[in-house]
Structure 1
Amino acid sequence: MDVSSINSLTGFANAQGGSKKSELGQQEFLQLLVAQMRNQDPINPMDGAQFASQLAQFNSVEQLISVNGGLSDLKNSQQLMSASMTNSMAASLTGKHVKALSNEIHLASGESTNVQYKLNNSATEVEFVIRSENGTEVRRETVEGIASGDNTWVWDGKNGNGDRMADGNYTVEVRATSDGTKVDSLVYIEGNVDKVRYSGNGVFLSLNNVQVAIGDVEEVGPGKKE
């Protein structure tokens, strides 16, 4: 069989689709099949069974291309529907009381702030590390004998030297251990949602002057007086 015509066809297909194209499309597959028939050895032509097999392969490829296109359209539709539902739900959260995962806290001028956390098991020691927004450590404190479940530690807003820190947002890290063995913990924030912000990075809720992603919300309830 003379493959020069087939090579010229594949070269033409690659030129049309760009030099980086490495997969045959539906049209290119059909062109190759036709070229193979035209250039078959007349002394030893393709038998009917072989031709039928290749036609079946082409039909399978065509069906797979159609299925893939349909799945892609379905995925796009689901993503649009999910985004629309998320936006609608987020708008309805304004004024609601929300509990969300967040290691960020806000310190108001002259006030203390609560660090709310949950332990999977009781801990003999829990260490709290407070850092400023630029990552600088400002306070480290250890408390002992903490039960499992929801707990609260109150930060008085002072650094390790007893100086009052400026108002603003800080991050907190909770390190819990039980006789030297790590205890899993979660840090969260609670408050009424006062604003919903839509951005290219997702939907965010504002509560207690902290921004939390809507995907980090754990509980939603009626608004509370603060």
Structure 2
Amino acid sequence: MDIQSASAPGTTAATSAASAAANRDRTTLGQDEFMRMLITQLEHQDPLEPQDPTEFTAQLAQFSTLEQLTKIREGIDGLRSDEGAFSDVASLAGLVGRDVVIRSSMFEVDAGGAVPGLELDLAAPAEAVRVRVLNAAGIPVRTFDLGSLSSGRHALAWDGLASDGTPVPPGTYELRAESVSGANSTRLETLVHGTVDAVEPLAGGGASITVGPAHAASDAIVEVRRTPEPVASAPAVAATPVLAPAVEPLTEIAGS
């Protein structure tokens, strides 16, 4: 029995197909696919006519080259990502020290009891708006019922006092506003005024700014304002409201 004539056609065809597929796709296949093709080719080679060692060595060299090129490409992609992140940081670096308005709910009451500017931003009119100020432990220290409000931005005046009339301690607080309708409530967007303390790159690209305890992406910046420089000879003037309408007076919910 001629073993070669009986087995060679199938193994030769499989070897040729695997080799042709490898040659056709080697420029686009990744490392895993390339290795699978190489193993398949070895499994289907003719045992009486094994693959030429020189050709096999060349294929291994191609695989090594592919691996090196993949690492180089990943390195270049990483550099591009880093470059983009640092570019974003550089573009926002000029905001450090500037006054901004950002979309955030986190703010800080300083040691003197000063409260930064706070706002509500309603996309649509609301029949009943409830606002709570929560401390760092998530416990409400003051609750307000503002009634109905029109759409748009509304400045919120809070004196920094708790429900019992005592000043709240300095620290981080959260402003939580909701539109209430029966048993249902919808979270409303809040804005916080403050000074940019730092600009940092984000792991996935882009950059974020730090305003007190709040960290916000660049697209959360609503306004950038020039910080006025003090003039010693200028007489003091009353502060002019920057945004309207102001929601005053606030009606505190009984028992809060």
Q: Same fold (TM over 0.5)?
A: yes
Q: C-alpha displacement at 1:122, in angstroms?
A: 0.6
Please state how far the C-alpha of 1:57 moved relative to its aligned partner: 2.6
Say if 1:80 and 1:171 are closer, same or farther in 2 by CA, change over 3 A: same
| SS across alignment from 1:64 | coil
Taking the aligned partners of 1:222 and 1:141, their CA distance within structure 2 comes to 29
TM-score, length-normalised on structure 1? Answer: 0.66
Corresponding pairs, count: 184
Shift in Å at residue 72 of structure 1?
3.4
- Following superposition, the deviation at residue 153 of structure 1 comes to 1.6
- 1:56 and 2:20 matched: yes
SS at match of 1:138: strand
Which segment is superposed worse, 95-104 or 121-130?
95-104
Mapped pair 1:160 → 2:163: yes
Match of 1:28 in 2: none
Q: Name the residue aligned to 1:44.
A: 7
Residues 55-78 of structure 1 show CA distances to partners (whole Å, capped at 9, x for unaligned) of 133232563125992763453233
Aligned twin of 2:118: 115
CA drift of 1:45 comes to 0.8
Q: Which structure's CA Rg is the greater one?
A: 2
Residues 71 and 99 of structure 1, relative CA distance in 2, 3 Å threshold? farther
SS of 1:158's equivalent? coil
Corresponding residue SS for 2:85:
helix
Conserved 8 A contact 1:118-1:148 = yes
Q: Choose 176-185 or 47-56, whichever is displaced more.
A: 176-185
Partner of 1:187: 190
> What is aligned with 1:76?
78
Query: What is the RMSD of the two structures over their aligned residues, measured on CA atoms?
Result: 3.2
Instruction: Report if aligned partners of 1:100, 1:212 keep a CA contact under 8 Å in 2.
Output: no
> Matched residues in 1 for 2:213 and 2:226: separation?
17
Letter in 1 for 2:21: Q
User: What's the CA shift for 1:225?
Assistant: 2.5
Contact 2:133 2:140 in 1 (8 A): yes
Query: Are positions 1:132 and 2:135 aligned together?
Result: yes
CA distance in 2, matches of 1:203, 1:166: 32
Structure having the higher strand fraction is: 1
State the Cα deviation string for residues 114-149 of structure 1 (Å, max 9, x = none): 321211111111111111112222111111111111
- Displacement of 1:224 in angstroms is 3.3
Displacement of 1:83 in angstroms is 1.6
Tell me the distance in 1 between the aligned counterparts of 2:101 and 2:90: 19
Q: In the aligned structure 1, how far is the partner of 2:209 from the partner of 2:76? A: 29
Amino-acid identity (%): 17
Can you give the 5+ residue segments of structure 1 that lack an aligned partner in the other structure?
1-40
The match for 2:91 among 67, 89, 92 is 89
Aligned equivalents of 2:181 and 2:154: distance in 1?
Answer: 16
Rounded to whole Å, the distance in 1 between the matches of 2:153 and 2:202 is 33
Q: CA separation in 1, counterparts of 2:27 and 2:87? A: 35
Q: Give ranges in structure 2 of 5+ residues lacking alignment.
A: 31-65, 230-256
Tell me whether 1:172 sits opposite 2:172 in the alignment.
no
In the alignment, is the contact (CA less than 8 A) between 2:107 and 2:213 conserved in 1?
Answer: yes
Which whole-Å CA distance do the structure 1 matches of 2:186 and 2:137 have between them? 27
- 1:151/1:72 Cα in 2 relative to 1: closer, same or farther (>3 Å)? same
Q: Aligned letter for 1:44?
A: S
